Amino acid sequence: MGKRSEPQRITLDGRILVVVTPEEHEHLQASRRQLGAMQAQRRTLATQVERLRSLLTEVAELIEHMPHPPECTRDEIPAGPSPCQVCRLSDALGKPAD
Ligand SMILES: [Zn+2]
């Protein structure tokens, strides 16, 4: 349905009605069903994102309290790469390690 023409209107019992063909009506119904399915999918994804955010916050908090091994160089070279797994996990989560 590429062309967009003004739909035909009729007046019935004093009310203005828009006339659509059965095919157009079926197309509108299909679009409505598709939109409903997409909205349900969007709600599911939003819930999953919220759960993941909360899980990541929890993991970041746990990592923040993990001890760094003696070979950790973060204190000497804060911006440099560290072989420490705790620093690497913390960097991956976007929070600087203490
Ligand atoms: Zn470290």
pLDDT in tens, 35-57: 999 999 999 999 999 999 999 99
Q: Is residue 2 in a domain?
A: no
Query: What's the pLDDT score for residue 23?
Result: 97
What's the gap in Å between 71 CA and the centre of ligand 1? 8
Cα–Cα distance measured from residue 30 to residue 81, given in angstroms and rounded to the nearest whole number: 54
Q: Coil, strand or helix: which one is 10?
A: strand
**Residue (of 10, 33, 96) closest to 60 by Cα position:** 96
Counting the structural domains of the chain, the total is 2
What's the gap in Å between 65 CA and the centre of ligand 1? 11
Q: Is residue 60 in a domain?
A: no
- Going by the DSSP 8-state scheme, the letter that residue 80 receives in this structure is S
Q: Pick out the chain residues at pLDDT < 50.
A: 1, 96-98
Q: Is residue 82 in a domain?
A: yes
Q: Are residues 51 and 14 in the same domain?
A: yes
Strands (E), 1-98: 8-12, 15-19
Cα–Cα distance measured from residue 93 to residue 60, given in angstroms and rounded to the nearest whole number: 7
Query: What's the pLDDT score for residue 97?
Result: 43
pTM of the prediction?
Answer: 0.60
Query: What's the pLDDT score for residue 83?
Result: 72
Which domain, by its residues, includes 23?
Answer: 7-55
Query: What's the pLDDT score for residue 71?
Result: 85
What's the gap in Å between 59 CA and the centre of ligand 1? 16
